[in-house]
Every structure is written in structure tokens, then in C-alpha cells.
Amino acid sequence: MPVSVARQIVFDVLLKVERQSAYASDLLHNELTSPMKPQDAALATELTMGVLRNARLLDFLIELYSRKPVPALDPEVGLSLRLGIYQIRFLERVPARAAINESVELVKRARKRSAAPFVNAILRRAAERSAEPAAGLIPGNLSKTERLGILWSHPTWLVERWLGRFGEARTTALLEENNRPSETAGAFLQPDERETAVRELERERVQLAPGRWLRDAFRVKTGNVSGTRTYREGRVSIQDEASQIVPLLLGVQAGDSVLDLCAAPGGKTAALARAAGYDAFVVAADIHERRLRAMRSQLKRLGQAGVRLAALDATTTLPFCKKFTRILVDAPCSGTGTLARNPEIRARLQPEDLPDLHARQSAMLKSALAYLEVGGRLVYSTCSLEPEENEQVVEEALRQTPGAHRVNRSEMMATLKPFLVSGANPSEIFDEDGAFHTLPPGSHTDGFFAVGMERIK
């Protein structure tokens, strides 16, 4: 039997994720831009992200049913088993027979025909035991940390860290949230034309709901916003609400000089440029020239082609002859606040990565503070939940930068308040020291951290 187009895409994307350390969301975006039925595109997305979010549990089940370690299997064989077991255990609308047959055909398509009987046998065993709760299959003699890691497909070392910081209830809620499909959010870039944009999107089969936090934000209930004319014309953007909040914390005013130090892919840059105004001096910097080239077309779509682009290493002395009134350091990070959206990170991130990230982030922040005008504001942000990348970076940079201090809680909340929806409580997302924190189970956004800083001399 022929393999469905959706499953061919899923198999090829997941193989690239494994072999090339690519990100599934980027690969899917490229694959799903070609004409295909909406239900096929939705199935491809669900299967790809579902397999990645549940990869550790799926591998545990493969080893339980086959009595073979997954690393000993050819990648194509392991992948076909993951895909088959995911459908059998998690997708009630897919008949087990269809899941088994298509996985077998995928192995043959990958030129691993000799493994087809093995895949067929393991998936039939999985189907026979699909009604057994996964928690009951995990050995009872394993530690709580190990059990949670297997059940929710997170690395044990990360679960252990979170248990120590958040406690069992909040950690379990975070693990569960990370295994749910991430919500797609965006913003109206021309708020005065919101009703027109909504009507146009509805005509293109996109249904929206209001944002949870921001007045100009929306959530996507159904449909593909990025495939619409409204999106192509730069009247709406796709961006998590917590990510939208970060540039607002700078309080950019018309005429401010603005530096976005780690700017790609450009969503925050565009927000900063809109606030600063058409004639303002706005610089977007990134270490990768190819990302800046992609940013150029993104900024053009969003009507911000006047932003100046600069390729530079932000960990070293910056090459500017003037200082800026507003600086954003949205630092490259571990991404542990985005594990629902980017589940590949779970298998790639290692504990020893955190000190390396901390060193680079600290260097970036210290470099940026040197170019902040007296009385100006800098915001340091990450999409990480880890103290090494957040509080510890801020504390280190402030110790080593005389005349710099944190913006207090009341000022940070006052900066954000005009942008919030009625009823949103900013005290829920700012701690006592004024740091902006979102944790997915409570905020229903990605996990973000941000701190405002100013120079007094």
C-alpha cells in the first residue's frame, strides 16, 4: 500500500531532525508551504511534534516490546517504530492496522526492507498492549525523577533540577504542559484595522481568540495565519505573547536610538522599530550574516525596512561610535521555556551546556551595558527557566558594571500596563525584584525571563 503524503513528510522531517540537528518547526514550515489538504498538513504537524514531545517514552516502549536498545537499531527503523507506537497509543482516530501498515511501508521506502517483519511484529505487540497505562509499565523500583522523566519524555537531570526549584506539583504541571501542543499566538500590527484583519482572516478560514495578556495580541483557534494574504502584507505577525511582551518592557519612545543586539529572526526588532518611529536610529545585530539576510525580508514584510543591520559578535567590544537610549539583549539560550514548541531541545541539551551559555550571556550583557546611555534602559531576556542563564547573569553583570542597576518592580509593571488587556494582573508575571517571569502552566505562554536595567553614571 502507498504511504500517505503526510507520513512521508513526517518521516523525512524527523530523520533530518535526528541527523542534522535541525528544528522540526522550520522544516515543517518549508514542507507545508506547498499545496496540500489542510487535514494532511494538520496530521503532519501533529505526528511530527507528538513523536518529538514523547520521544523518551516511545523509546522506552520500543525497548520494552522488542527487548533491544533503541541506539542499536538503524535510525530509520527506530523512527518508524516511534511513529507507529505514537499513533497506536495517542491517536484514537487512526486505526492500529493503518498505523502498523504505514510504518512498515516507511521502512521499506527507506530501503530497510529486511527490517519490515521486525517492525510489523513490534507494532502488533504494541497494539495488543495499547490499553495499558504507560505509568503502569514503568518499573516501580525507579526513582521518582526517573519515572517522571520517562513518563513525560524529559531528561532526568532537568526533571531533578526543576523538582528542586519548583517542587513536585509545579514540576509535574510544567512537564504536562510541555507535552501539549503549543498554542499559536500573534499580534495585530495595525490595531486600528483589527476588525478588517479579523474579517479577512475569517474569509481564509482562520478563527482567532483574544490574547490572554496583551491588548493587540490574538490566539489562533483554527487555520494557518502564515498562509494568508493578511500575514504576507505585514498586518499581523506570529509570535508567542511572552515574546511580544519583552520589547514592550524597554518603554521605547519616538526618536529613541535602539540596539537589538541578538536580533534574528526579527519579531522583537520590528516591534522596537515601530515604537521608535520611522526616522529613529535602530540597529539590529546578529552574529550570523545568513540570519540577517532572512531578517531583511522579514522586516520589509513588516514595513520596517529602514532598520540598520550589523553582523557582529556580541560577546566582544561592540563596534559603535555612539551609545543607545534603549538596548535589548534577547540572549541565545538553552530554550528550556520552549520545550513544547521546540521539543528537540530535550535530547540535545546537556548540563555542561549551562556554564558555557552563562559565560556567553554574561559577556553579551556586559558589552551591551557599556553602550547604554546614562538614563537609558536595557532589557536582558531569555526563553530559559534556568537561574544560570537568568538571575546569575544579571547579578554578575551588575557587579562588574559600576553605575548600573535594576529597574524596580513598580516601574517595570507601569511600563507594561498600557499594553495589557483589561483584567490582566501584571503582578502575576513580575517577581518582587522586578524580573519578568512566565512559566507555561500558569501564563499559558512560553517560559520567558527579562530584567530591566538602567545607568545612572
Lowest mean pLDDT among 20-34, 46-60, 164-178, 322-336: 20-34
Percent of the chain with pLDDT over 70: 99
Predicted local distance difference test score (pLDDT) of residue 32: 80
Residues 397 and 371 in one domain: yes
Q: What is the CATH number of the domain that holds 63?
A: 1.10.940.10
Residues 272 and 417 in one domain: yes
CA 118 to CA 274: how far, in whole Å?
A: 58
Residues 115 and 87 in one domain: yes
Residues 431 and 299 in one domain: yes
Residues 73 and 213 in one domain: no
Q: Catalytic: which of 262, 321, 333, 383? A: 383
* Residue 216 CB-half CA count within 13 A: 20
Q: Is the pTM of this model over 0.75?
A: yes
Q: 205-254: per-residue pLDDT in tens? A: 999 999 999 999 999 999 989 889 999 999 999 999 999 999 999 999 99
Q: What is the CATH number of the domain that holds 199?
A: 3.30.70.1170
Residues 221 and 366 in one domain: no
Confidence band for 197, pLDDT divided at 50, 70 and 90:
very high
Confidence band for 29, pLDDT divided at 50, 70 and 90:
confident
| Domains contained in the chain, number | 4
CA distances from 423 to 21, 22, 93, 214, 419 (A): 42, 40, 39, 11, 12
Q: Mean of the pLDDT values across residues 405-412? A: 97
CB 446 within 8 A of CB 341: yes
CB 7 within 8 A of CB 106: yes
Residues 384 and 246 in one domain: yes
Helices (H), 281-335: 289-301
Residues spanned by the domain of 199 = 185-238
Strand, helix or coil for residue 150: helix
Residues 219 and 94 in one domain: no
pLDDT at position 33 over 70: no
* E strand residue ranges, 392-431: 404-406
Q: Which residue has the higher pLDDT, 416 or 305?
A: 416
Confidence band for 34, pLDDT divided at 50, 70 and 90:
low
Q: Which amino acid is at 162?
A: W
Residues 203 and 109 in one domain: no
Q: Mean of the pLDDT values across residues 167-190? A: 96
Beta bridge partners of 454: 377, 405
Q: Which amino acid is at 207?
A: Q
Confidence band for 457, pLDDT divided at 50, 70 and 90:
confident
Q: Which amino acid is at 457?
A: K
pLDDT averaged over the chain? 95
CA 216 to CA 188: how far, in whole Å?
A: 5
Q: What is the CATH number of the domain that holds 345?
A: 3.40.50.150
Residues 170 and 293 in one domain: no
Whether 333 is a known active-site residue: answer no
CA distances from 221 to 177, 183, 249, 294, 366 (A): 18, 9, 27, 28, 41
Residues 107 and 146 in one domain: no
Residues 128 and 233 in one domain: no
